[in-house]
Amino acid sequence: MKAIVTGISGQDGFFLSQLLLSKGYEVHGVLRRNSSMTRGTIDFLPPDIEKQLVIHYGDITDENFLSKLLQSEKPEELYHLAAQSFVGYSFESAHSTYDANIGGTLNVCNAIKTLSPDTRMYFAATSELFGKPNETPQNERTPLLPRSPYAVSKLAGLWTTRTYRDAYQLFMSNGILFNHESEVRGPEFVTRKISMGVARILLGSNEPIVLGNLSAVKDWGYAKDYVEGMWKMLQYEIPDDFVMGTGESHSVRDFVEEAFGVANIKITWKGTGVNEVGLSEEGKVLVKASRGLYRPLESDNYRADYSKVREKLGWEPRVKFKELVRIMVENDIKLIKHK
Ligand code: NAP
């Protein structure tokens, strides 16, 4: 079996490529060139795993590149993970977000339709499509009310794959995934900012962790579990859409408390909104909120109802909130110690 993974240098690409290799796949990855020739999370893979990957340098906004790739490789499966995935940045640069997430997805769909129609495709949709939902928990029938350029772009991607699936009888499935994190999460994402900040403070830093909305409520799982669900979606008898999450809600404040808890540090909160701070027992400011990190529109209040994926694909999250936070903090302590 051959699979192409776009976005192989991202968090999910790291776990998915290892999962597919362990199942005996020939794994091809799409990688963007950058001037420093770094390769994102590919550089964190063990050398014996990394050398098994077949890398194609290219950009998903380049229709010609994708056409040539699909024509020459004709993979059984394609996992379309590549995206401008940071919600905050999408408010700064909506145009580039739309180019990659809408234009890039359209290019992938067109290349499959015209050059490799037997390829099964996974599209990385997101719980951000729900915006700030009034109904809890959220499932495949919850109204989609995006509240960021990122979410709008993913809505277009979702509907592009649904339309191509129905119009041209293509196997295209959507994973509506709630937040999933890990030890290779990008450093700009809130969970990794917290785990790295806690590790630095434990190892002597006096810099507090600066965050946006501490009250934002998310459903956080472990990325390694979620890539297994992606794979299961493409083994299912029909293409379909599935919500994946843990069914647990936690605020950013909870994440901070849990992360410091790994080192037995208790946080006390003082103030509200942008004036809120998290203090150590000695009264030292370890965490503070910043107006600059609030989004123009917040999207939260998330909790997944993942009963469909559980019933149809037998998928369950193995790692829950407490364990996830511990994995991330312990890993960042190790990383900083060995720098
Ligand atoms: P990520 O770490 O940000 O990785 C995104 C990947 O896309 C990177 O490899 C990036 O390459 C690549 N990419 C971006 N623009 C590209 C372009 N124009 N051409 C080629 N490659 C491009 O994201 P992730 O956490 O692995 O998430 C994977 C997918 O799931 C994304 O589509 C994301 O939006 C979606 N998703 C993620 C979550 C989550 O909580 N993690 C939840 C729901 C949905 P560079 O290294 O060159 O930047």
Instruction: Quote the radius of gyration of the chain (alpha carbons, Å).
Output: 20
Other C-beta atoms lying within 10 Å of the C-beta of residue 337: 10
**Cβ 129 vs Cβ 176: under 8 Å:** yes
**Phi/psi at 121 (nearest 5 deg)?**
-120, 135
Query: What distance in Å separates the CA atoms of residue 130 and residue 179, rounded to the nearest whole number?
Result: 13
Place of tokens 């998903």: 60
CA-nearest residue, atom 40 of ligand 1: 179
Query: What distance in Å separates the CA atoms of residue 191 and residue 170, rounded to the nearest whole number?
Result: 36
Indicate whether residue 40 lines ligand 1 (CB < 6 A).
Answer: yes
Query: What distance in Å separates the CA atoms of residue 156 and residue 168, rounded to the nearest whole number?
Result: 18
The reported pLDDT for the residue numbered 225 is 98
Of 132, 147, 182, 154, the C-alpha closest to 303 is 132
The reported pLDDT for the residue numbered 338 is 87
Of 315, 188, 155, the C-alpha closest to 247 is 315
Question: Which of 12, 138, 158 to mutate for ligand 1's pocket (most ligand atoms within 8 Å of CB)?
Answer: 12
Place of tokens 């900040």: 197
Q: From the centroid of its chain, how far is CA 64? A: 27
Query: What distance in Å separates the CA atoms of residue 127 and residue 286, rounded to the nearest whole number?
Result: 30
Indicate whether residue 126 lines ligand 1 (CB < 6 A).
Answer: yes
Identity of residue 135: E
Catalytic residues: 126, 128, 150
Q: What is the pLDDT along the chain (339 residues), one digit of tens a residue?
A: 999 999 999 999 999 999 999 999 999 999 999 999 899 999 999 999 999 999 999 999 999 999 999 999 999 999 999 999 999 999 999 999 999 999 999 999 999 999 999 999 999 999 999 999 999 999 999 999 999 999 999 999 999 999 999 999 999 999 999 999 999 999 999 999 999 999 999 999 999 999 999 999 999 999 999 999 999 999 999 999 999 999 999 999 999 999 999 999 999 999 999 999 999 999 999 999 999 999 999 999 999 999 999 999 999 999 999 999 999 999 999 999 887
Question: Which of 15, 78, 85, 242 to mutate for ligand 1's pocket (most ligand atoms within 8 Å of CB)?
Answer: 85
E strands present in the chain? 2-6, 26-31, 54-57, 77-80, 120-126, 172-177, 180-181, 209-211, 217-218, 221-222, 241-244, 250-251, 268-270, 277-279, 285-289
DSSP conformation letters of 245-275? --S--EEHHHHHHHHHHTTT---EEES-GGG
Query: What distance in Å separates the CA atoms of residue 45 and residue 54, rounded to the nearest whole number?
Result: 14
Distances (CA, A) of 28 to 13, 80, 323: 11, 12, 31
Indicate whether residue 262 lines ligand 1 (CB < 6 A).
Answer: no
Indicate whether residue 84 lines ligand 1 (CB < 6 A).
Answer: yes
**Cβ 122 vs Cβ 77: under 8 Å:** yes
Ligand 1 centre to CA of 31 (Å) is 11
| Domain annotation for the chain: domains and CATH numbers | 2-182+221-247+301-319 (3.40.50.720), 190-215+251-299+327-337 (3.90.25.10)
Ligand 1 centre to CA of 9 (Å) is 8
Indicate whether residue 105 lines ligand 1 (CB < 6 A).
Answer: no
Identity of residue 137: P
Question: Which of 44, 78, 81 to mutate for ligand 1's pocket (most ligand atoms within 8 Å of CB)?
Answer: 81
pTM above 0.75, yes or no: yes
Query: What distance in Å separates the CA atoms of residue 140 and residue 191, rounded to the nearest whole number?
Result: 26
Indicate whether residue 59 lines ligand 1 (CB < 6 A).
Answer: yes
